[in-house]
C-alpha cells in the first residue's frame, strides 16, 4: 500500500467515522434526555456487559483476518471465517442459556436483543477487517453510516413517540438491533464484490489448527482490551449502592460516550495503518516512516483533545446529555487525561501486531487491565464519593502503562533488527 493509498483509506474511514459519530451523538443526545440518567444507565450497562460476553465469539479474529487477507494468504483467511462461525455458534448458545438462567436485573427480552445485536456487530467488524485487508475502506464506510443512521432515526426519534419509560427503553434496544443488522448485511455485500465469502472453501486441517494457535495471543489481548474499555462502567453499576448504581452508570456512560466520539480519527489511522505495516514488514523505509508520522500526529491531536475535554466538559455534557448529568462533568474532564495515550496507542498497538509481538503486547495489556480493575475496586470501596473521577483517573493511568509497554516493545524490535 502506497502512502497515497493509506491517506485515501484514512480519509474514507475518517469521513465515515465523522458521519457515524454525528449520527450516534444525535441519537444519544436524544435518548439521554428522554430516558434520564437511570434509564440511560440501564441501556449503557447492558451494552457494556454484553459487549464483553459477545467478544468471546470473535476473540481477536478480525485482526488475523486483516493480516491474512492483506498478505494474500487465502487458506488462512478462509480458516478465520470458519473459526468465526464456530465461535459465534458456541457463544450464542451459551450466552442465550446464561440469559435464560441467571440474567442481570433487566427485562429478558431487552437483554436478548442486545446480545443478538452484539453478535451481529462481531460479524460486521470481522467483515470490515477483510475489506481493510483489501484496502477498500469505502465499502466499510457505507455500511457503518447506514447502520448508525438506522439506530439514530429509530432510537433518537422513536423515544419521543411514546411516554412510558419501559417502552422508550424497548424502542432503543430494537433500534440498536436493527442498526447492527443493516451494518452486517451491507458489509457482507461489500465482501462479495471483493471475492470474500462467508462460506469459503474449507482449508486443510493443518491450516485450521495453525490458525487456532495463531489466534491465542490476539484472543487474549482482544478480550482484555474489551474488558479495559467496558469494566469501569460495569463495576460502577454493580458495586455502587443499589439506588445509585443506575444513576452513576448513566453519568459515567454519558461522559464515556463523549470521549469515544472523538476516537474516530485514531481508529481510522490504526485501521488503515495495520495492513500497510503488514505488507511493508520486510522491506523499505515506508513502514517506520509512516509509524513515526502517524504516532506524532496522533499525539498532537490527542493533546488537543485532552484540552478540549478538560476545559469544555461542562459545555459538552450540557450539549450532549442536557440537565441532570452534573456528575458526568468532572468525569469527562478527568477522562481527557487518557486521550493522548489512547490516540497514540492506536498506532503503536497496530505496529506491535504487525511485527508479530502479540504475546509481548499481551503482557503489557495485562498490567494495564489489572491496574484499571484494582484501581476501580479501591476507589469504589474506599472513596465511593469520588467513584467517577477515580475511574477516569485509573483509565488514564492504564492507557499510559500501555503506551510505555508498546514503546518498549517496538524499541527492542528496532534495535534487534538494526
pLDDT at 104: 59
The conformational region for residue 203 under phi > 0 = left, psi -120 to 50 = alpha, else beta, is beta
pLDDT at 283: 52
Q: Which triple of cell numbers denotes residue 32?
A: 439521554
Q: Which triple of cell numbers denotes residue 109?
A: 427480552
Q: Which residue has the cell 459519530?
A: 21
pLDDT at 103: 56
Q: Which triple of cell numbers denotes residue 65?
A: 483476518
Give the span between the Cα atoms of 247 and 327, in whole angstroms. Answer: 9
Judge contact between 42 and 106, C-beta under 8 A: yes
Closest CA to 131 of 227, 16, 222, 4: 16
Q: What is the pLDDT along the chain (418 residues), one digit of tens a residue?
A: 445 555 666 666 666 667 777 777 778 778 888 888 777 787 777 777 777 777 777 877 888 898 888 888 899 999 999 999 998 998 888 888 877 775 556 777 888 888 888 889 889 989 988 888 887 777 888 888 898 889 888 888 888 888 888 888 888 889 889 999 999 999 999 999 888 999 998 988 899 888 888 888 877 777 777 776 677 877 888 788 766 777 888 888 888 888 887 777 787 777 777 777 776 665 544 467 778 888 898 999 999 999 999 999 999 998 887 777 888 999 999 999 999 999 999 889 888 887 878 788 888 888 988 898 899 899 988 888 888 999 999 999 999 999 999 999 988 988 887 6
Non-local (6+) Cβ contacts of 411 within 8 A are none
pLDDT at 280: 67
38 C-beta neighbours (distance < 10 Å), count: 17
Judge contact between 25 and 261, C-beta under 8 A: yes
Q: Which triple of cell numbers denotes residue 52?
A: 464483553
Give the span between the Cα atoms of 416 and 34, in whole angstroms. Answer: 57
CA R_g for the chain? 21
pLDDT at 286: 46
Closest CA to 180 of 146, 156, 153: 146
Judge contact between 106 and 46, C-beta under 8 A: yes
Q: Which triple of cell numbers denotes residue 228?
A: 479495559
Domain boundaries, the chain: 3-417
Query: Per-residue b/e over 244-270, b at no fewer than 16 CB within 10 Å?
Result: ebbbbbbbbbbbbbbbbbbbbbbbbbb
The angle that helices 387-417 and 358-382 make with each other, rounded to 10 degrees, is: 160
Non-local (6+) Cβ contacts of 252 within 8 A are 232, 233, 236, 327, 328, 331, 388, 391
Q: Which triple of cell numbers denotes residue 7?
A: 491517506
Phi, psi of 10 (to 5 degrees): -60, -40
Q: Which triple of cell numbers denotes residue 396?
A: 488514564
Give the span between the Cα atoms of 342 and 267, in whole angstroms. Answer: 10
Judge contact between 352 and 410, C-beta under 8 A: yes
pLDDT at 141: 83
277, 280, 331, 409 from 415: Cα distances, Å:
18, 18, 40, 10
pLDDT at 306: 94
For the chain, first and last CA: distance in Å?
23
Query: What is the SS3 assignment for 17?
Result: helix
Give the span between the Cα atoms of 330 and 355, in whole angstroms. Answer: 39
pLDDT at 284: 45
Question: What one-character-per-residue DSSP string does 78-107 give?
Answer: HHHHHHHHHHHHHHHHHHHHHHHHS--SS-
The angle that helices 387-417 and 328-335 make with each other, rounded to 10 degrees, is: 10
Amino acid at each position: 500500500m502506497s502512502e497515497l493509498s493509506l491517506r485515501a483509506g484514512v480519509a474514507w474511514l475518517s469521513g465515515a467515522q465523522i458521519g457515524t459519530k454525528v449520527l450516534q451523538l444525535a441519537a444519544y443526545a436524544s435518548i439521554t434526555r428522554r430516558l434520564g440518567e437511570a434509564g440511560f444507565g440501564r441501556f449503557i450497562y447492558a451494552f457494556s456487559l454484553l459487549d464483553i460476553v459477545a467478544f468471546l465469539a470473535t476473540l481477536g479474529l478480525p485482526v488475523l483476518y486483516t493480516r491474512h487477507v492483506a498478505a494474500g494468504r487465502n487458506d488462512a483467511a478462509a480458516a478465520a471465517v470458519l473459526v468465526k462461525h464456530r465461535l459465534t455458534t458456541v457463544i450464542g448458545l451459551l450466552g442465550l442459556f446464561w440469559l435464560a438462567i441467571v440474567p442481570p436485573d433487566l427485562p429478558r427480552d431487552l437483554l436478548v436483543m442486545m446480545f443478538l445485536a452484539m453478535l451481529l456487530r462481531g460479524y460486521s467488524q470481522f467483515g470490515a477487517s477483510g475489506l481493510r485487508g483489501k484496502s477498500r475502506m469505502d465499502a466499510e464506510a457505507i455500511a457503518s453510516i447506514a447502520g448508525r443512521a438506522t439506530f439514530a432515526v429509530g432510537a433518537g426519534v422513536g423515544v419521543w413517540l411514546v411516554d412510558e419509560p419501559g417502552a422508550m427503553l424497548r424502542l432503543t434496544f430494537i433500534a440498536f438491533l436493527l442498526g447492527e443488522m443493516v451494518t452486517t448485511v451491507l458489509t457482507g455485500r461489500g465482501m462479495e464484490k471483493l471475492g470474500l465469502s462467508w462460506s469459503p472453501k474449507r482449508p486443510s486441517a493443518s491450516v485450521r489448527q495453525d490458525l487456532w494457535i495463531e489466534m491465542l495471543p490476539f484472543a487474549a489481548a482482544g478480550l482484555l482490551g474489551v474488558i479495559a474499555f467496558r469494566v469501569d462502567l460495569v463495576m460502577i453499576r454493580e458495586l455502587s449502592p443499589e439506588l445509585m448504581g443506575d444513576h452513576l452508570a448513566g453519568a459515567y456512560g454519558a461522559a464515556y460516550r463523549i470521549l469515544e466520539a472523538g476516537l474516530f480519527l485514531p481508529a481510522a489511522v490504526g485501521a488503515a495503518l495495520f495492513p500497510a505495516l503488514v505488507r511493508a514488514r520486510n522491506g523499505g523505509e515506508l513502514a517506520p516512516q509512516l509509524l513515526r508520522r502517524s504516532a506524532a500526529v496522533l499525539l498532537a491531536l490527542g493533546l488537543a483533545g485532552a484540552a478540549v475535554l478538560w476545559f469544555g466538559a461542562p459545555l459538552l455534557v450540557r450539549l450532549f446529555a442536557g440537565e441532570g448529568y452534573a456528575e458526568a462533568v468532572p468525569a469527562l474532564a478527568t477522562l481527557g487525561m487518557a486521550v493522548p495515550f489512547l490516540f497514540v496507542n492506536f498506532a503503536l498497538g497496530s505496529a506491535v501486531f504487525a511485527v508479530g509481538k502479540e504475546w509481548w503486547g499481551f503482557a503489557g495489556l495485562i498490567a494495564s487491565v489489572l491496574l484499571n480493575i484494582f484501581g476501580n475496586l479501591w476507589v469504589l470501596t474506599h472513596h465511593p464519593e469520588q467513584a467517577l473521577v477515580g475511574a477516569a483517573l485509573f483509565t488514564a493511568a492504564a492507557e499510559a502503562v500501555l503506551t510505555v509497554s508498546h514503546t518498549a516493545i517496538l524499541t527492542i524490535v528496532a534495535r534487534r533488527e538494526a
